[in-house]
Amino acid sequence: MSLLEVRNISYRFPDGTFALRNISLQISEGEFIVISGRNGSGKTVFLRNLNGLYTPSSGEIIINGVSVKDNPYKARQSVGLVFQDADSQIVGQTVSRDIAFGLENLKIQKYETKTRIRKALETMDLEDHADQRARTLSGGEKRRLTIAGVVAMNPSIIALDEPFSNLDYPGVLQVLKILVSLKKSGHTIILVTHDLDKVLAYADRLVLFENGAIVADDRPELAIHSAAACGVRVQNPGSKDHNIKEMTWLND
Ligand SMILES: Nc1ncnc2c1ncn2[C@@H]1O[C@H](COP(=O)(O)OP(=O)(O)O)[C@@H](O)[C@H]1O
Ligand SMILES: [Mg+2]
């Protein structure tokens, strides 16, 4: 059984905009999926449907055998979503308090909360910032804090919306390293980005969105041939042999 099963979902905003059209997708445990597509193609709306922030107008989403519609609370626990805009996700005054906030909502015991915060700070290289005011963090540190908050909640799936946006070069490398280590430790990851060059080397699958629909869902070396037509930048779009393994900014 798939960890996540999306069955024919569509999503329509009250103003009539059809943001998703008949999307179906299955994700197995431990997969690393990259989703790409031009601005406005429906990527963010899709992630918001996955964790129950939005409810599909039709179709259904099953996570771990449970329907999101029947149990949106469970869905929010199962799919941890890292927003594109870190500032809108940070709610705690300090770094530690921010991570604690999500755990308190899940009613995690105090002792367990402390352990999880320590581990999240360590994994995201934020130990030295534990008591710093969250709003005084740099852009890269804020991004790592939002990932820390989500990872600490131990979701089945971690979904990240454009996690490289507004980061400088070292910031991108740090987030990439975190993604690679999350993958290595067996996490299931859905990553939305238009920067395939940074991360595609680590993807098991590339899914391309166009106008609210999925137009490609395949191994990266196959799906990449459809990327340019979906408004996603690829080097030498006409080339037959894209070297997917070189599509990373990490050189180890
Ligand atoms: N709150 C909203 N009301 C109406 N339309 C929206 C709203 N949010 C997003 N949209 C529309 O839904 C479509 C998909 O948007 P989105 O998922 O944000 O695209 P992206 O692929 O860039 O993340 C776009 O046409 C966008 O204009
Ligand atoms: Mg978006």
Contact between residue 118 and residue 89 where contact means Cβ atoms under 8 Å apart: no
Contact between residue 40 and residue 62 where contact means Cβ atoms under 8 Å apart: no
Examine the pLDDT at 161 and tell me if it is beyond 70.
yes
Average pLDDT over residues 92-113: 94
Examine the pLDDT at 18 and tell me if it is beyond 90.
yes
Looking at the chain, the whole-number percentage of residues with pLDDT higher than 70 is: 100
Q: How far apart are alpha carbons 12 and 125 in whole angstroms?
A: 40
Q: Does the CB atom of residue 17 touch ligand 1 within 6 A?
A: yes
**Which residues have CB atoms below 5 A from the ion given as ligand 2?**
43-44
* Mutation choice for ligand 1 from 13, 21, 35, 232, CB with most ligand atoms inside 8 A: 13
Q: Which pair of structure tokens corresponds to residue 180?
A: 């690679």
Q: What is the pLDDT of residues 232-245, one digit of tens each?
A: 999 887 787 789 99
Q: How far apart are alpha carbons 74 and 66 in whole angstroms?
A: 8
Q: How far apart are alpha carbons 26 and 124 in whole angstroms?
A: 29
Residue 229 pLDDT grade (very low, low, confident, very high; cuts 50, 70, 90): very high
DSSP state of 1: -
Examine the pLDDT at 173 and tell me if it is beyond 80.
yes
Q: Does the CB atom of residue 252 touch ligand 1 within 6 A?
A: no
In this predicted structure, what is the pLDDT of residue 252? 62
Q: Does the CB atom of residue 73 touch ligand 1 within 6 A?
A: no
Domain boundaries, the chain: 4-246
Centre of ligand 2 to C-alpha 15, Å, is: 18
Specify which residues 5 forms β-bridges with: 26, 62
Fold of the domain built from segment(s) 4-246: Rossmann fold (3.40.50)
Q: What are phi and psi of 143, to 5 degrees?
A: -60, -45
Q: What are phi and psi of 25, to 5 degrees?
A: -160, 140
Q: Does the CB atom of residue 40 touch ligand 1 within 6 A?
A: yes
39 alpha carbon, closest ligand: 1
Examine the pLDDT at 179 and tell me if it is beyond 80.
yes
Q: What is the pLDDT of residues 198-225, one digit of tens each?
A: 999 999 999 999 999 999 999 999 999 9
209 alpha carbon, closest ligand: 1
15 alpha carbon, closest ligand: 1
Q: Does the CB atom of residue 42 touch ligand 1 within 6 A?
A: yes
**pTM to 2 decimals?**
0.96
How many other CB atoms are there within 10 angstroms of residue 246's CB atom?
A: 11
Q: Which of 60-64, 67-71, 222-226 has the lowest mean pLDDT?
A: 67-71
Q: How far apart are alpha carbons 21 and 105 in whole angstroms?
A: 33
Q: Does the CB atom of residue 13 touch ligand 1 within 6 A?
A: yes
Three-class secondary structure of residue 15 per DSSP: coil
Which residue, 46, 52, 67, 74, is CA-closest to 155? 74
| H-assigned helices in the chain | 43-50, 72-78, 95-105, 110-123, 139-152, 169-184, 196-199, 220-223
